[in-house]
Homo-oligomer: A and B are copies of this chain.
Amino acid sequence: MKIGRLSVIGLGPGDPSQLTAEASAVLAEANAVYGYGPYLARVSPRRGQQRLASNNREEGSRARAALQHAETGLHVALVSGGDPGVFAMAAAVCEEIERGPEIWRSVDVAIIPGITAMLAVAARAGAPLGHDFCAISLSDNLKPWTSIERRLAAAAFGGFVIAIYNPVSRARPHQLRAAFGILRRTLPGTTPVLFGRAIGRCEESLVVSTLSSADAISADMATLVIVGSEHTRVIERPERPPLVYTPRAFPGGMR
């Protein structure tokens, strides 16, 4: 019996030009495409290719449905925003393979990387991730808030630039404010803070603030927040938006 293939594909931040050639080619080959509705809507329909949209909250059941479909010997694509490996579908697929039927371990699983939101926002701003950095999801659906607090504190203590994914949701509007509060204990108020919203889509916006004046209300579910380190700098430019970057070298020079 022929065992199928499951390709978990990163669509990047939104604009089709930010897909890799590999992602486009694999999408074109698939017999069926699974995904959260708005992500699936970014994929051009193809004759003979099945399309199966699901809700955002249903990562586990979507992964299972895609694995069951691949088990029949077909090539199934599962699309993800950004990069599938960063707070997205690749981990959900692995979880289901581990707890699912033995046959799912025979499916040819390929993860196709994409441009994750922090890279897109950083590129628009300059180079805020130019030095050591970390990525933290504020969603506490899947982990306790105390562990998020501990990670924020460790990241600020360690001097990492911090990319914050899932900064707010309807169910938890207050967490980003709490996160800023934790970071203010360690980082100077002048630390640059970026709010990148829908970067790579036509409605994109980028707001540059500081930790002392950053207001959590500037973020919504489509926002990626980057909090600089004490070394992150802002270059003002006369006719252009400022450039925000974190130098490669420590001040004082190690060169």
Seen from chain A, the residues whose Cβ lies within 8 Å of a Cβ on chain B are 12, 15-22, 24-25, 59, 83-87, 90-95, 97-98, 105-106, 108-109, 111-116, 119-120, 122-124, 126-137, 140-144, 147, 150-151, 153-155, 157-160, 233, 235-240, 243, 245-250, 254-255
How many Å lie between the Cα of A59 and that of B247 in the bound state?
13
State whether A254 touches B143 (Cβ < 8 A).
yes
- Collect the chain B residues with CB atoms within 8 Å of residue A239's CB: 106
CB neighbours (8 Å) of A24 from chain B are 21
Q: Which of B22, B128, B134 contacts A133 (CB 8 A)?
A: B134
Find chain B residues with CB under 8 A from A129 CB.
85-86, 135
20 contacting pairs across A/B (C-beta < 8 A): A21-B24, A83-B115, A83-B119, A84-B123, A91-B130, A91-B245, A93-B127, A94-B243, A97-B243, A105-B236, A111-B123, A113-B120, A115-B115, A129-B135, A142-B250, A142-B254, A143-B250, A150-B158, A151-B159, A154-B157
Contact of A90 among B86, B115, B127 (CB under 8 A): B127
Contact between A130 and B98 (Cβ–Cβ < 8 Å)? no
Contact between A135 and B137, CB atoms less than 8 A apart: no
Of all chain B residues, the one with the shortest Cβ separation from A199 is: B113
User: Which residues of B sit under 8 angstroms from A21, Cβ to Cβ?
Assistant: 16-21, 24
In angstroms, Cα B147 to Cα A94, docked, is 35
Is the pair B127, A123 in contact by a Cβ cutoff of 8 Å?
Answer: no
- Supply 16 further A-B pairs (C-beta < 8 A) apart from A94-B233, A142-B250: A20-B21, A86-B129, A93-B127, A94-B127, A94-B130, A95-B245, A97-B243, A109-B126, A111-B122, A111-B126, A113-B115, A114-B115, A115-B115, A142-B248, A154-B155, A154-B158
Residues in chain B near residue A133, CB distance under 8 A:
134-135
Q: Is the CB of B127 within 8 A of A111?
A: yes
A12 close to B18 (CB less than 8 A)? no
How many Å from the CB of A190 to the closest CB on chain B?
16
**Which of B91, B108, B124 has a CB less than 8 Å from the CB of A111?**
B124
Tell me the nearest residue of chain B to A237, going by C-beta: B105
Q: Is the CB of B122 within 8 A of A119?
A: no
Bound complex: CA of A60 vs CA of B189, how far in Å? 30
